[in-house]
Structure 1
Amino acid sequence: MVALITDIKPEDKLVLLLAQPRWTSEERLQVNDLLQSHMDWTRVLGLLQCHRVFGMAWMNIKKHFGQDTDLKCSYTKFLSMVYQSYVLQKNKTQEQWEYTKQVCKLFEEQGVEYALLKGIVLSTCIYQDWGSRNFGDTDILIHPSQINVATECLKSVGYIQGNIKLDRNEIIEKSRKDTMFWSLVSHEVHPFIIKTPLSSVIRFHEVDLQFSIDLNTANRTDGTVTNLLANSIVVMVDDQPVKTLAWEDFLLFLCIHYYKEATTIREVQSYNDLILYKLCDVYYLLAHEEIHIRWEKFQEIVDATHSHKGVYYTFFHLNKLYEQVVPNEILVRFKPSDLSFLNEVYKYNSDEIAGRWPMPFVERFLNPTRLTLLKNGIESQIQSSRGERN
């Protein structure tokens, strides 16, 4: 259920409702009324796009209104636009999968221990709809001791570590120095990219090999990665078995993913920080009818990896948008004594504070121009600090 947010705009409420799982009958009526009301439809479309929830929106419209022949929307093009985005996303996911399954097969043949992260696993196993979730690359967790083997596997079938030059539809290979430096200051290997000439939607397929779960840092978590891979599970995607994380580990990774990107200044400046689809990943996993998170086990993992901040940050935000997704008795288990981090943004690969948000979470989450407010907040903090020194 969408939280009781004071003065929430109808456009924002519609987007939050369209993205959430498990509508109540009352929420279905609310969506129906909102669709027929007159509002700023450019804001609705913009939020659906920026928060990457077009696929979830159509999935829920189809589920709850699929049998209706008289569903009306004041903006008559809206439903067809959402559907077209969903179809494009579905085709894109299916094309991504054709390449991803070959990579998984190759890794298994060469003895590379791996676990698929996010992307295709979320679409097919959690959302259970190929068009539900948009993603641009394939994230795979491997152990750092197998980076060289995995690299040779990918290069043997044509993947290149480089950047895409869009105007010439080509991949510019990075130097060995650049790729080595990338791994030294990051949690992953420089992306591997291959052209996809037979695909109609994607022009390239990108594989990101991650070897640490402390994202956006150079910190190594070799022991944790060993445990995650050892506890990996096999899931079926399009009748092919592939490996992913155990669901408690998967939940932890989703929390870390959201927290790290929401609090790293580089991600904030590229508008990749507070995005609804990342919270929906957590929400849909927790709401899945056949997956039951073992909370005692999850707490053991959080304690062992010292991930309390990331977990609390993510659950806290999710509960601010949607009421009681994570019960309070669960939430308090991960609550740090000092909550100042909830409003802090950090420099990349550092605990140094780059700025503090001057407004509450919900206010900034629903504000597309929040970066300007953060900049103003940083300037005010600098001026205040100078005043204290003087």
Structure 2
Amino acid sequence: MLQSNLTQEEHTALILSNPFLEDSQIEEMQELLYQQQDWNVILGMLHVHRTAGIAWKNIKRYAIHLRKDFKATYFLKSLEIMYKGQIETARDNITLNDQLFQALDQKGIEYAIVKGSVIGQWAYGDVGLRLFGDNDLFISQDQLQETGHVLKELGYIQGSWNYETETVTPAKRKDILYLIMNSHQTYTYMKPTPECRFIDCHKIDVQFSVDLMTGNRTDSIVQEMLSRRIQTSVDEHLVWSLKEEDMLIFLCIHFYKEAIYLNEVESMKDLLLYKLLDIYGMFMREDLLNVELFVRRTKAYGFEKMVYFALHYVNEVFPHTIPDLVMDALQPESLAYLSEVLDANDVVHTWNQPIRKRFFHINRSLEIQKHSVHKE
């Protein structure tokens, strides 16, 4: 059934991107695959939203036996290649992470991996279904310097990748310090990896706050979360991760911050399906979460507004995923912020387009008309 406000191609891309299809949706997906559509557009959407791996897995599981009737065979092959590439990319990263984690463990540094491969395993059960280009390390601020020393000893440099020379261009000291002071994460650490087939360099982003993209200090919360860290298996590799409920809080805040700020919108980082699917997947995996504990912890930390934002977006795209009890417990007094874009503290745009449609409106940032309405 075509979802309201979506074109046929957008609807097909959304169905293919869902790793938790119900029986009726599987039948609908099979029908959609053999309809006349612009498959180039669908392929582009899946690529932008980093859900090509999920689409391939759905087709292989539920519709590959019908492929002789499907005219756009290049579409299937493209998805298969992307999925296999994502598996190898993930495994390269996981292997290189092992070397770093061993060095951090030897120094007694308390850390956890957030997002990325852990979510690929938890939310999807397959690291090939989620594309990630970097690895996020979560530490307390008082171990920032020592963590930096470990990374440098292993050959990592803070900077950007130069594709022409296949080397890391070091960042300026002022830029490194500015990012630490204003975003609570470090300038990316990079290390060339000529031994790898699928990645040019191994990238590490060091996070030392929960309230990202601000100067707000959350040191005590970070330390609490790290004190609860757990070991989990990712593609048969043991890694340190945040506890499931803490990880979900982190994901929700990260989604909120990237969805509301103008520079993120203009960079097309605001509404990507894979970020929403990470949250959706954690709710869909049976027995993964203690939902009551998640709500209590969110309220104890005062993160209701940010977490509610992310969960509201999940329910708009995948209806009835988040229980009403959760939404009611976290709902803030005003919901106007759900449609606002901020530049610093100023509201510069209010979206009128439905959330589900906005995910597929690639040029949505062109609609933004700046105005000076101070956010209270």
Normalising to structure 1: TM-score of the pair? 0.91
CA–CA distance in structure 1, aligned partners of residues 12 and 226 of structure 2 = 39
Q: 1:310 pairs with 298, 306, 311, which one?
A: 306
Give the 5 Å matches for 1:133-282.
133-282=130-279
CA–CA distance in structure 2, aligned partners of residues 56 and 279 of structure 1 = 14
Equivalent in the alignment of 1:388: none
- Aligned residue type for 2:248: L
Report deviation, 1:223.
Answer: 0.7
Report deviation, 1:276.
Answer: 0.4
Flag structure 1 segments of 5+ consecutive residues without an equivalent. Answer: 386-390
Flag structure 2 segments of 5+ consecutive residues without an equivalent. Answer: none
Report deviation, 1:69.
Answer: 5.8
Q: Contact 1:262 / 1:268 at 8 angstroms: preserved in 2?
A: yes
Q: Contact 1:117 / 1:245 at 8 angstroms: preserved in 2?
A: yes
Matched, 1:84 2:78: no
4+ runs deviating over 3 angstroms: 69-72
Q: 1:45 pairs with 40, 43, 55, which one?
A: 43
Pairwise CA RMSD of aligned residues?
1.7
Q: Would the alpha carbon gap of residues 340 and 69 (structure 1) be closer, same or farther in structure 2, given more than 3 Å must change?
A: closer
Over the matched positions of the two proteins, sequence identity in percent amounts to: 32
Q: Contact 1:344 / 1:357 at 8 angstroms: preserved in 2?
A: yes
Between 15-24 and 223-232, report the one with greater CA deviation. 15-24
CA–CA distance in structure 2, aligned partners of residues 258 and 135 of structure 1 = 15
- Aligned residue type for 1:196: T
Report deviation, 1:71.
Answer: 5.7
Q: SS of the counterpart of 1:74?
A: coil
CA–CA distance in structure 2, aligned partners of residues 174 and 23 of structure 1 = 44
- Aligned residue type for 1:95: D
CA shift digits 1:36-85 (9 cap, x unpaired): 0011112101110111101111122223235x265642322111111011
CA–CA distance in structure 2, aligned partners of residues 228 and 193 of structure 1 = 26
Give the 5 Å matches for 1:283-294.
283-291=280-288, 293-294=289-290
Q: SS of the counterpart of 1:77?
A: helix
- Aligned residue type for 1:364: R
Report deviation, 1:234.
Answer: 0.7
Q: Contact 1:186 / 1:215 at 8 angstroms: preserved in 2?
A: yes
Equivalent in the alignment of 1:351: 345
Between 19-28 and 182-191, report the one with greater CA deviation. 19-28
CA–CA distance in structure 2, aligned partners of residues 283 and 327 of structure 1 = 12
Matched, 1:33 2:31: yes
Instruction: Give aligned pairs, total.
Output: 373
Q: Contact 1:142 / 1:209 at 8 angstroms: preserved in 2?
A: yes
Q: Would the alpha carbon gap of residues 338 and 196 (structure 1) be closer, same or farther in structure 2, given more than 3 Å must change?
A: same
CA–CA distance in structure 1, aligned partners of residues 182 and 361 of structure 2 = 31
Equivalent in the alignment of 1:360: 354
Report deviation, 1:5.
Answer: 3.3
CA–CA distance in structure 2, aligned partners of residues 193 and 267 of structure 1 = 22
Normalising to structure 2: TM-score of the pair? 0.95
Q: SS of the counterpart of 2:316?
A: helix
Q: Contact 1:37 / 1:74 at 8 angstroms: preserved in 2?
A: no
Q: Contact 1:73 / 1:79 at 8 angstroms: preserved in 2?
A: no
Give the 5 Å matches for 1:114-125.
114-125=111-122
Report deviation, 1:285.
Answer: 1.1
